[in-house]
A and B are shown apart, each in its own frame.
Chain A
Amino acid sequence: DAKTTQPNSMESNEEEPVHLPCNHSTISGTDYIHWYRQLPSQGPEYVIHGLTSNVNNRMASLAIAEDRKSSTLILHRATLRDAAVYYCILRAGPNFGNEKLTFGTGTRLTIIP
């Protein structure tokens, strides 16, 4: 699996935007970029995913570099409930059989009131 690199930790003030970076320089042309987050003592939850174009949903936006070697998860207005570990994951597609999510250690996001 192609590897991702994320900062270990980040801090942000409440009600401000947060930009969480992810480097994936060995990404292949068919790899999807997925983001999950894990709140303390809970299971991870899906945030967003994309392939080439920027994506928006109710939780966040995903900005993908033109060369696809990096991406940024954007939380537009951070709240205390956004404090979590954020994982950037590559999933090969559309091959059947790529079932697992390969989690690294992620970025621990702290929100300052």
Chain B
Amino acid sequence: DGGITQSPKYLFRKEGQNVTLSCEQNLNHDAMYWYRQDPGQGLRLIYYSQIVNDFQKGDIAEGYSVSREKKESFPLTVTSAQKNPTAFYLCASSLRASSYNEQFFGPGTRLTVL
């Protein structure tokens, strides 16, 4: 089955620790995205990548880092510099990074920092 996988579904970390969230897609999509969702709110874009070895900051990139070494993988690292890391993190992909293409979302990772 084609799709996007995110792991783990739930993640707990101690304050001050870096943590990396996994996102893999087998849809052969060029573009990938990371969003953050807080309770009762819409999604906000953290980072996006239009192609391998390239990525750009979204609206709330501070305290996060990404890499795009392979087309199918776009891991997100939540660093200790992120002041409020507890949130629901969603990864998405689209065929191309354009307004024509729908974005396909993964099931999300719920991160709780204790």
Contacts and interface: CB of A to CB of B under 8 A. Distances in A.
Contacts of A44: 43, 90, 103, 105
Secondary structure at the A interface, as helix, strand, loop or mixed, is loop
Interface string B90-114: 1110000111101111111010000
B97 A43 contact: no
Best-buried of A44, A94, A105 by chain B (most CB within 10 Å): A44
B104 to A, nearest CB: 7
A24 to B, nearest CB: 15
Interface of A: 32, 34, 41-46, 49, 87, 91-106
A105 B59 contact: no
A93 B108 contact: no
Contacts of A103: 35, 42-44
Given A43-B92, A44-B43, A92 B99 contact: yes
Nearest to B46: A100
Contacts of B91: 43
A95 B99 contact: yes
Nearest to A87: B42
Best-buried of A34, A44, A45, A99 by chain B (most CB within 10 Å): A99
Interface string B63-88: 00000000000000000000000000
Contact of A46 (B31, B50, B102): B102
